[in-house]
Amino acid sequence: MRLTEIFRLVWLNLASNKFKVILTSTGIIVGSATIMLVIAIGTGGREEVVEQFKNLNAGAIDITYEYQGNDFGGGMPAGGGMPGGAAGGGPSGGAPGGAPAGGMPSGGGAPGGGMPDFGAGMFGGFFGGGREEVNTERITLSTDDLEDILAFVPGVEEGCLSFTVTSTVDGGELEESASYTVAGVQSNYAALSNMELVIGEFLDDDDDTYKEKVCVLGYDAAREIFGSVYDAYNGTVYIDNRPYQVIGILNGMGTVSSGISPDSAIFIPYETGLKYLAGSNVSPTLTVIAQDVDHVDAVIADVETVLGESYPNAEFTISDAGSRMEAASASNDTLTMLLVCMAVIVFIVGGLGIMNVLFVSVKERTNEIGILKAIGCSRKDILEEFLLEASCTSLIGAILGVMLALGLTPALERFGVTISLSVSGGVLSLVFGVLTGTVFGFYPAYQASRMIPVEALNHE
């Protein structure tokens, strides 16, 4: 039998059982859509990681301190000992701090100071020495610490201090005050974070020295407050009811640098922020840049040593841009692998469905197979017919699956999922769908081709 005749038979069988074909290919539809979305989500996740960290210096190292005192503010440290970390050449932590990087102080004490914790000191002898001593000194990283690191840690080329608070902002076209992230940064922050300005200039050393009330707006913040970037330039915003002149607008970045989202943030001089917004209740992030990204671990170890000299009992949180990128990529790869496993399972279930339906179809069409063999069709012809039916059924399912994936994409994007559709993803979905139908349809087709003509014709 010629191949065109086989295709005609296949078409007639499929056309006469449209609803059956759709139901048979349901598993393939779901599997094909899943494969396409898996590829799109995985690609989108990788692009998002690259986008988030594209403006981060690969050698950037962030150092923060979180207050770890007991629940009674102002009391003695647990165990009755003196506060740790008071000695050393760096600045003492007398100013209250203890907030995570980039945020408001976490406190660590109840209002009013509370009573000291004498329990461990009084009864420690009876119960094995009391609780483990924790550091209760409030440490605020300062320019002295930055200078120590730059002076004594080899392989560090530059550094800066920054902090963030959430403050009320008014002005421009805002009908009512709104909350924005306000970042107090030093003049070299923009260079370290690879920031670019659309218009104006960034903060300079004089702004910091004289505590000037000037600011630089992120791209999104400028449009939200003033309606457009150019209207924002030289405008005035009121941060915590104090006027600040806008001297520059950042270009859109869509990234996170030192815990700060630049597009929606407002940048003010570091010392200005300490004076008018944060005061002593600040826990800044100290960022340094390693000259060689291959020696970041060694630089981190040296930084810990220098800070340990100034604050012997303090534990600092130190992270580098490379580790954050690797962690984000690993999370994305794990999610992609889970989705791939789910897609494989769905394809197997779909393939088993096709196999089951083909077995039933072979049994129902036993007489037809006997007639085909009686008029001279070979085993190969019968095998090809049923195998093509399985492949065409799965191809239809795969095409419908690709269409389903395209239809689901806008809905998933509304939930914040980054999806990057590609032609290769669609082609791969079609290939997997057809391959699944062909593999699982082979055995039923083989069984049909092995039927004995006389028995097939006499089958009732």
pLDDT of residue 197: 94
At 203-249, the pLDDT tens digits run 999 999 999 999 999 999 999 999 999 999 999 999 999 999 999 99
The mean per-residue pLDDT over the stretch 192-202 comes to 90
The mean per-residue pLDDT over the stretch 17-31 comes to 80
Helix axes 321-364, 423-449, angle to 10 degrees: 30
**What gap in Å lies between CA 216 and CA 236, rounded to an integer?**
11
pLDDT of residue 375: 78
At 265-319, the pLDDT tens digits run 999 999 999 999 987 778 899 999 888 877 888 899 999 999 999 998 888 988 8
pTM: predicted TM-score of the whole model, two decimal places = 0.55
Question: 161 by DSSP, 3-state: which?
Answer: strand
Span of 344-348, 380-384, 422-426, 439-443 with lowest mean pLDDT: 344-348
**What gap in Å lies between CA 232 and CA 245, rounded to an integer?**
10
Check residues 341 and 92 and name the one with the higher pLDDT: 341
Check residues 108 and 287 and name the one with the higher pLDDT: 287
Span of 11-20, 100-109, 233-242, 268-277 with lowest mean pLDDT: 100-109
Which residue intervals of 320-422 are DSSP H helices? 321-364, 366-374, 379-414
pLDDT greater than 60 at residue 96: no
User: Following CA atoms 405, 411, 416, 418 in sequence, which dihedral angle do they give, to the nearest 10 degrees?
Assistant: 20
Token output for 434: 């057809």
pLDDT of residue 235: 95
pLDDT of residue 99: 37
pLDDT of residue 30: 84
Nearest-CA neighbor of 53 among 449, 324, 338?
324
pLDDT of residue 157: 85
pLDDT of residue 19: 78
At 327-342, the pLDDT tens digits run 666 776 777 787 778 7
**What gap in Å lies between CA 16 and CA 365, rounded to an integer?**
14
Query: In terms of DSSP bridges, do strands 285-290 and 156-171 run parallel, antiparallel, or are they unpaired?
Result: antiparallel
Residue 6 banded pLDDT, cuts 50, 70, 90: confident
pLDDT of residue 73: 38
Strand partners, 267: 183, 216
Residue 69 banded pLDDT, cuts 50, 70, 90: low
At 378-425, the pLDDT tens digits run 888 888 888 888 888 888 888 998 999 999 888 888 887 778 888 888
Question: 245 by DSSP, 3-state: which?
Answer: strand
At 127-136, the pLDDT tens digits run 344 434 444 5
pLDDT greater than 90 at residue 153: yes
- One-letter amino acid for residue 34 of the chain: T
**What gap in Å lies between CA 12 and CA 346, rounded to an integer?**
29
Which residue intervals of 16-96 are DSSP H helices? 18-24, 26-53
Non-local CB neighbours of 218 within 8 Å, separated by 6+ positions:
249, 250, 253, 261, 262, 263, 264, 265, 266, 267
At 32-65, the pLDDT tens digits run 888 888 888 877 777 776 665 555 566 788 899 8
Average per-residue pLDDT in the chain? 77
pLDDT greater than 70 at residue 458: no
Q: What percent of the chain has pLDDT over 70?
A: 77
